[in-house]
């Protein structure tokens, strides 16, 4: 799927610590943007914000952006979550939620040694595995390098149109399940639909909610409602209010952020934030998930799931593994296939 020249561009940008992004919208061919290199860029502007919305309004990469490589990015977190710790934290969160109600999205990490990994090859295989997602690999000195394939639209508006589209995507089960969605997943999903509807109201958008559907991602599927409405205001104002939704944080938001701060030992950084592009087709923002933060030394995959008072740590552990199994396998099978 990636041409030879795009693969060599990815590896040379990573080697030279050059700010760049290679991305593909669902069912689109990959495009690239290299900071300061209009001739190598597809003409769009790529943007990034982290989970805590601290990268500004947001960080952008375009062919005419300045190229800085004097700043050293943070090294990826390098400690995989151990099941016993995970179980203890989830049990504490579940006990809190039994008293207060609500939902918290709890994440874990799968980390490893990155020496010998050919990241352009990993990108090629991961992009090919999930053609119906927004796929991205980028490097900036502020964020370091990230690779992901996101099924989750945060917000989209096509060029020349005044309608915005988003989705409430939450609730996970096996892709071959023929059973009806259970109460736990429906409850987890409804929190997201309600939150997005409230944020749309705050922005003066009348939310129109489509019937529920299943969205597939590898070996899992999610419960999804597509939500849209008329909005001619500033795109970034809207996404900064929306992010992070309860698909990545929880409700009430302040309680969920407190749980995350207290129970997750790792920094989320860009995981759970958003990334996207403004191009000739429109404005496209996706949630950064099913992703890995990497450097020449380490990689750190992030995977999370919504916890409610009904959650069971074993099931959550399996769910989070299933969400990133393909990415993990591709990375592990390319160790020692290095360039
Ligand atoms: C948090 C993640 O995924 C989110 C959480 C989901 C869930 O809890 O069921 C489903 C889809 C995503 O909105 C992740 O993949 O890391």
Q: Please enumerate in sequence order all residues whose Cβ is within 8 A of that of 35, keeping only pairs 6 or more positions apart, or say none.
A: 18, 19, 20, 61, 62, 63, 65, 66, 67
The helix (run of H) or strand (run of E) holding residue 295 is none
* 246 C-beta closer than 6 A to ligand 1: no
* 62 C-beta closer than 6 A to ligand 1: no
* 290 C-beta closer than 6 A to ligand 1: yes
**Cα distance between residue 188 and residue 249, in whole Å:** 12
- Nearest to 327, CA basis, from 298, 295, 299: 299
Residue 337, pLDDT score: 57
Helix, strand, coil percent values for the chain (each to nearest 5): 30, 30, 40
- Nearest to 147, CA basis, from 47, 55, 21: 21
User: Taking the mean position of all CA atoms in its chain, how far away is CA 21?
Assistant: 15
DSSP state of 118: -
Query: 253's torsion region: left (phi>0), alpha (psi -120 to 50) or beta?
Result: alpha
* 289 C-beta closer than 6 A to ligand 1: yes
User: How many Å lie between the centroid of ligand 1 and the Cα of residue 104?
Assistant: 11
* 305 C-beta closer than 6 A to ligand 1: yes
**Cα distance between residue 5 and residue 2, in whole Å:** 8
Peptide bond into 265 cis (omega under 30): no
CATH 3.30.56.10 applies to domain 4-333? no
Residue 38, pLDDT score: 87
Helix ranges (DSSP H) in the chain = 4-16, 83-100, 119-129, 183-202, 235-242, 253-263, 313-333
In this structure, the residue with its CA closest to atom 5 of ligand 1 is: 305
In a mutational test of the pocket of ligand 1, which residue from 146, 304, 320 has the highest number of ligand atoms less than 8 Å from its CB? Answer: 304
pTM: 0.97
* 117 C-beta closer than 6 A to ligand 1: no
User: How many Å lie between the centroid of ligand 1 and the Cα of residue 287?
Assistant: 10
User: How many Å lie between the centroid of ligand 1 and the Cα of residue 80?
Assistant: 19
Peptide bond into 39 cis (omega under 30): no
pLDDT beneath 70, residues of the chain: 67-69, 336-339
pLDDT tens-place string over residues 181-220: 999 999 999 999 999 999 999 999 999 999 999 999 999 9
In this structure, the residue with its CA closest to atom 4 of ligand 1 is: 247
Please, are residues 93 and 255 in contact by the beta-carbon 8 Å criterion? no
In this structure, the number of other CB atoms found within 10 A of the CB of residue 310 comes to: 15
Three-state DSSP state, 300: strand
Residue 330, pLDDT score: 98
In a mutational test of the pocket of ligand 1, which residue from 86, 105, 167 has the highest number of ligand atoms less than 8 Å from its CB? Answer: 105
Please, are residues 63 and 46 in contact by the beta-carbon 8 Å criterion? no
Residue 339, pLDDT score: 53
- How far separated are the first and last CA of the chain, in Å rounded? 19
Q: Which two tokens stand for residue 211?
A: 């019937």
Residue 41, pLDDT score: 83
pLDDT tens-place string over residues 222-237: 999 999 999 999 999 9
Residue 65, pLDDT score: 79
Residue 88, pLDDT score: 98
């Amino acid at each position: 799927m990636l041409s030879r020249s795009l693969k060599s561009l990815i590896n040379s940008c990573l080697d030279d610590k050059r700010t760049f992004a290679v991305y593909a919208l669902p069912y689109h061919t990959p495009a690239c943007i290299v900071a300061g290199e209009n001739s190598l860029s597809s003409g769009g502007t790529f943007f990034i914000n982290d989970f805590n919305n601290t990268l500004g309004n947001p960080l952008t990469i375009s062919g005419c952006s300045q190229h800085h490589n004097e700043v050293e990015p943070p090294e990826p977190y390098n400690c995989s979550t151990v099941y016993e710790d995970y179980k203890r934290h989830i049990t504490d969160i579940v006990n809190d939620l039994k008293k207060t109600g609500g939902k918290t999205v709890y994440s874990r990490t799968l980390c490893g040694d990155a020496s010998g990994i050919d990241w352009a090859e990993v990108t090629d295989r991961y992009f090919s595995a999930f053609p119906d997602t927004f796929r991205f690999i980028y490097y900036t000195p502020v964020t370091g390098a990230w690779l992901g394939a996101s099924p989750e639209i945060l917000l989209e508006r096509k060029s020349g149109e005044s309608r915005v589209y988003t989705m409430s995507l939450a609730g996970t089960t096996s892709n071959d399940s023929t059973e009806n969605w259970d109460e736990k997943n429906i409850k987890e999903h409804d929190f997201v639909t309600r939150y997005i509807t409230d944020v749309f109201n705050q922005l003066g958008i009348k939310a129109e909610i489509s019937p529920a559907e299943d969205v597939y991602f590898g070996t899992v599927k999610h419960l999804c409602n597509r939500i849209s409405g008329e909005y001619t205001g500033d795109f970034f104002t809207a996404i900064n209010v929306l992010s992070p939704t309860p698909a990545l944080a929880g409700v009430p938001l302040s309680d969920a952020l407190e749980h995350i701060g207290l129970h997750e030992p790792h920094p989320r950084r860009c995981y759970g934030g958003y990334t996207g592009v403004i191009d000739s087709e429109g404005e496209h923002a996706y949630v950064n998930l099913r992703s890995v933060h990497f450097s020449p030394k380490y990689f750190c995959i992030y995977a999370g799931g919504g916890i409610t008072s009904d959650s069971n740590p074993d099931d959550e552990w399996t769910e989070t593994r299933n969400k990133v199994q393909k990415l993990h396998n591709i990375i592990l099978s390319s160790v020692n296939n290095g360039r």
